[in-house]
Structure 1
């Protein structure tokens, strides 16, 4: 990996110098931008935003995956502002809390997006804690002088760039909140740039390839993997506004000549079900992250798409986010691949858990720290630069990682530690086409007990117990209660929403 630190915008300029002024960005409006077009647009829009903000101000962004969000992101960087990505699916309370935690005073959004996504109530709630700035209105003020400025900036961007450092904030993101309240993560500019270089060193990415990104940019996988990685590594980035549109996405893949598709297991499973044999014909491989890839999804890809490689990876918002990923020539299903170049790791045993150890990470892509919820200007720094992932992993002699579970996703039943992820695996083995989540609730007799939440109407405890007995699984791993739902709650990224599921189970117990 090139270890020379760079800012985000410097890395964009370097990419143009390295790969030439090629088309680099497109969305469903099908009006692509070249590197120079992106640089010009970023300077022009960024100057307009700079006129109503302060230097180094944290500016909220509430936009879908599109050329607009990419131009806005780079525009803020061109003028020394800090993009703060807001999760539109997090709910009014969490979005307002994020704005206040980050000290955001202004939020950028667009009317078409708000109307199409029916987010009027969310915008009203945001208006109670910050000023809502409509980019539609900002764009109408762009005149001849602004366009001339953009032309000059496109030719000599370093002269117009507001100086920042690689160690200055590159983006503020909020963790998914799968298991609790979202945390504010401050990633430096070098965190972001270095992570794209680490991936580029791990996998040989070709400049003629096209990255198709349907994931939201408020999620680090969508921002780094779907925007920064392709653009800074010379590939064209195609942005699509919602991962939920399975049929439209499948139709667009061959039209856009997509080479790589990024998504989560939830969405890839949906795409595979609606795709014809040739719809994935242009893809070199598919990359899955953010949640475990089910055996069923691997099977779908292996049987329907002529062995199209599905590469599972592993990341964390705190690591910008890619930590490990399988390689097209060294793909080991069941693992999340090998740790990226330039990262250090250490493993620590956990009392009561015999299999696997807790993973700690340090490297150029690991965050500056968490935002202090009580003080937007204060960072909770990492001790010695080490991030505790909270993940229990197994590392084989060749460096392949298997994720065994989250430290907080273990229950203590009758004095024994039981992995909730392993219990979900048991349910998936019995009903492979269903979606399952397991949570623990207090139990006066054994400390805790397991509850399975599933979308399978025919799910019964007796079937689970029978499978466990015949396959040697411990009786403790069999949930004693099943809650059936029409659809398992998920976050905007497709990850299982364990907070809502826990609340649902507690309400069911109280009923």
Structure 2
């Protein structure tokens, strides 16, 4: 059986009692013939583009099936006339919304015609079926997966979001072609079998290192054996490690030992880390001497943990150097076996068990301890792969910290599951070094935040520096318009904005080349439900709530109990609106609204406007109490040349009320500017520094 694929599933199709309009992906012309011959039962009418060469192979379609040639772009009345001549009432219609065989893994441009046909001929009933070319079974056949039938709202004309609905239905079917009821160990071994044990997955430039599936498995077994001598299966351990090639191996060593890794955010400060370790009840914190030598924050955290004395800090460098020969031999023998050694503690792990503990960034307050299961993470991996056109020959540069959900999913989990190479770079702040590495190594893929994309774009000298990059995903914070425009004008590259929260493993929505809108965070991921709940005082949009297999098990409480999402619904705290095409837009966080003279002001919109003041200036906004108007906005910037007048002009240029303009600027040195490890603005620190009188102040606005 192919990697990560369940057995072919046409059960939803087989139980149909009424005719439907079937939509399918169209990567290869053989898929049309496969659908014709494998979907048994009713007669099928294939609506094909008049220029599709598969029409010449009509004799290969199943006996009784008919082909109707149409111009997809013709007026619907003309198309309907042609269909009426041939179609027999009560039978299925098959349409390929991509129109032509694409040869691509990801969905291309979607034509909405199938939705109108469903309303006209099959009562709005529509079903998505995907043909999985990469899911060949042992007999060498392609496999089919059908999503549950959907019922479209009946409308006289084409609905604005028809194309988006069809895309989501196809992605739902694609998601069903993956087996999400797995553990990360199972995914690792299946991927190794599919892509080859010698396939390199993780690299790093300094010092140079490459790790293949074989290396990850053999070294992971060895370290896992030693960890198993120190901890019982199910125990939690802290990992305080840099973004490096070795870190994913350590992560999997924990999985082999049946342990739950808690990723320590050493940039959040000693107090937050000590509280997180206490809540998670970690038995030890594993780190590296190299990290402590190079990172002052990590050094301070390690000192604080040692000073408290409750949890030991163990250096993996020392464990590596003293690894017994018997352990190495045992690991080598285990790694020679096909599949997971059943005697390995991690082999007993179930999909619903804890896989990972992450701590929220604390950008608005105290970090929360978030418990993610194997089911959560596997579901989100495959939700992303159902959406994203990512290949196994991709070459990624990962600059994001692995203690952040975006860095963990994008830089660690996706590469090993999909079989592409990811170069791990230890610091996102070395802008020119990163640009030079991109030019040298010809990376094709990069996930980053708006802040860092802006810095790399400014550091690059010319278009050739970024020429190799094909897939650029921005997340972790709102993508600022100025950054988007910089990459488009300077490099001719589109940044595809995504959105997620740690509690959803993290991806919630994602734009792609063929499904994007300016300023949108994209369409919701397949396999999720969402709803918008009204928020008092906020007239645009509502608070986004999410339910799905990727939603966390819950928040771990200091007393050891778990606060699960009520009835499976997680409230993100983000105010979101949806357009007529089904695309989502961030209005702001509930906590990031200021109330000025009775008006609710979304500070994210103010920051977006201020981002255009100066290309390489960082400008953040906080709200502070004001006797006259309740609250007022204060801007923080590292650029002493930015003025209040420029900010007022930027607010005006964005058609925002003058009331929304900052009343004061706090200037801070670049090295002192409050940022989290992910590059997001650290608002609590800004508020504390403002209250303490820190920074250089502008003259307050009159």
**TM-score by structure 2 length?**
0.70
Pick aligned residue for 1:125 from 280, 304, 320 = 304
Distance 1:283 1:46, change over 3 A: same
For the Cα contact (< 8 Å) 2:445–2:469, is it kept in 1? yes
Pick aligned residue for 1:422 from 605, 612, 618 = 605
Pick aligned residue for 1:409 from 592, 600, 603 = 592
Distance 1:425 1:308, change over 3 A: closer
Distance 1:469 1:396, change over 3 A: closer
Point out which structure has higher relative CO (alpha carbons under 8 A, 6+ apart): 1
Pick aligned residue for 2:474 from 285, 288, 293 = 288
Aligned counterpart, 2:284: 106
Separation in 2, partners of 1:187, 1:475: 44
Distance 1:77 1:462, change over 3 A: same
Please give the secondary structure, in 2, of the residue aligned with 1:31. strand
Please give the secondary structure, in 2, of the residue aligned with 1:212. strand
For the Cα contact (< 8 Å) 1:153–1:160, is it kept in 2? no
Pick aligned residue for 1:473 from 651, 656, 663 = 656
Report the structure number with the largest CA radius of gyration: 2
Separation in 2, partners of 1:237, 1:96: 31
Unpaired runs of 5+ residues, structure 1, are none
Pick aligned residue for 2:218 from 24, 40, 50 = 40
Unpaired runs of 5+ residues, structure 2, are 1-174, 698-702
Aligned counterpart, 1:115: 293
Give the superposition deviation at 1:237: 1.9
- CA deviation profile, 1:42-90 (whole Å, cap 9, x unmatched): 1111111111122211100011011221111000001100000001111
Aligned counterpart, 1:312: 497
Pick aligned residue for 1:62 from 232, 240, 256 = 240
- CA deviation profile, 1:436-495 (whole Å, cap 9, x unmatched): 222122223322222222234244444444555576432321233332333331111100
CA RMSD of aligned residues (A): 2.0
1:151 and 2:318 aligned: no
- CA deviation profile, 1:155-189 (whole Å, cap 9, x unmatched): 33242432111111111110111111111111111
Aligned counterpart, 1:486: 669
For the Cα contact (< 8 Å) 2:453–2:483, is it kept in 1? yes
1:451 and 2:639 aligned: no
- Match runs of 1:81-100 below 5 Å: 81-100=259-278
For the Cα contact (< 8 Å) 1:198–1:340, is it kept in 2? yes
- Match runs of 1:2-21 below 5 Å: 2-21=178-197
- Match runs of 1:179-194 below 5 Å: 179-194=364-379
Separation in 1, partners of 2:277, 2:517: 40
Separation in 2, partners of 1:409, 1:316: 16
Aligned counterpart, 1:278: 464
Aligned counterpart, 2:203: 26
Give the superposition deviation at 1:221: 0.5
Separation in 1, partners of 2:653, 2:248: 53
Aligned counterpart, 1:496: 681
- Match runs of 1:36-435 below 5 Å: 36-118=214-296, 119-127=298-306, 128=308, 129-156=310-337, 157-162=340-345, 163-275=348-460, 276-305=462-491, 307-372=492-557, 374-375=558-559, 377-435=560-618
Distance 1:309 1:47, change over 3 A: same
For the Cα contact (< 8 Å) 1:212–1:239, is it kept in 2? yes
Separation in 1, partners of 2:636, 2:473: 28
Give the superposition deviation at 1:204: 2.4
Give the superposition deviation at 1:407: 0.6
Distance 1:432 1:18, change over 3 A: same
- CA deviation profile, 1:122-167 (whole Å, cap 9, x unmatched): 2111112310111111112223322221222213324243211111
Please give the secondary structure, in 1, of the residue aligned with 2:266. coil
Please give the secondary structure, in 2, of the residue aligned with 1:51. helix
Separation in 2, partners of 1:422, 1:270: 21
Distance 1:472 1:25, change over 3 A: closer
